[in-house]
């Protein structure tokens, strides 16, 4: 029995497949989570990159609890997708590309919070952020847009190549 077959045979997977409208509701909440995540992270990233200089970076950073909530919503709904039909994901290169960019975005955020986060408070409105902030912001926005792209392309790219 393969890993995919094992997941499909679990009681949880069978139960999820039997819930009428689960997929549609999960899609809706996944989209809401993406909107919160990309919207608020993107706002901070653009400010880190030097845009919207009238906004203090510390003010943009205050929206991060909403982005974290959006990410948590996506984790829950994404797991429900995976557990319901794991074969759609385990042999799909776009899924693994999406996961790679989630890891890159997460490591970038961890770096920002542990190495640069304290310096955020020193940057006021109309201050140009240092190059390290611009690099972190650019890597973040590119990573999250790649997550969005590969997630949307799951049904179309690299189906059955692994």
3-state SS string for 23-91: HHHHHHHHHHHHHHHHHHHHHHHHHHCCCCCCCCHHHHHCCHHHHHHHHHHHHHHHHHHHHHCCHHHHC
pLDDT recorded at residue 141:
97
For the entire predicted model, the pTM comes to 0.90
**One digit per residue, pLDDT tens: the chain, 162 residues?**
799 999 999 999 999 999 999 999 999 999 999 999 999 999 999 999 999 999 988 899 999 999 999 999 999 999 999 999 999 899 899 999 999 999 999 999 999 999 998 888 788 888 899 999 999 999 999 999 999 999 999 988 766 655
pLDDT recorded at residue 144:
97
Query: Which one, of 84, 95, 80, 87, lies nearest residue 2 by Cα?
Result: 87
pLDDT recorded at residue 162:
53
pLDDT recorded at residue 160:
62
Give the start-to-end residue ranges of the domains of the chain.
Answer: 11-152
Query: Which one, of 98, 97, 63, lies nearest residue 78 by Cα?
Result: 98
CA angle 101, 37, 100 (to 5 degrees): 10
pLDDT recorded at residue 117:
81
């Amino acid at each position: 029995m393969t890993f995919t077959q094992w997941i499909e045979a679990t009681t949880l997977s069978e139960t999820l497949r039997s819930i009428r409208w689960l997929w549609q509701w999960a899609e809706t909440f996944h989209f809401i989570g993406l909107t919160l995540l990309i919207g608020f992270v993107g706002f901070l990233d653009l400010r880190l990159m030097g845009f919207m200089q009238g906004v203090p970076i510390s003010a943009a950073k205050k929206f991060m609890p909403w982005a974290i909530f959006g990410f948590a919503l996506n984790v829950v709904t994404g797991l429900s997708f995976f557990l319901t039909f794991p074969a759609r994901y385990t042999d799909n290169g776009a899924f693994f590309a999406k996961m790679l960019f989630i890891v890159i975005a997460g490591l970038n955020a961890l770096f920002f919070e542990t190495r640069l986060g304290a310096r955020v408070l020193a940057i006021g409105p109309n201050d140009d952020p240092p190059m390290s902030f611009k690099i972190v912001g650019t890597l973040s926005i590119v990573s999250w847009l790649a997550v969005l792209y590969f997630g949307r392309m799951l049904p179309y790219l690299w189906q059955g190549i692994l």
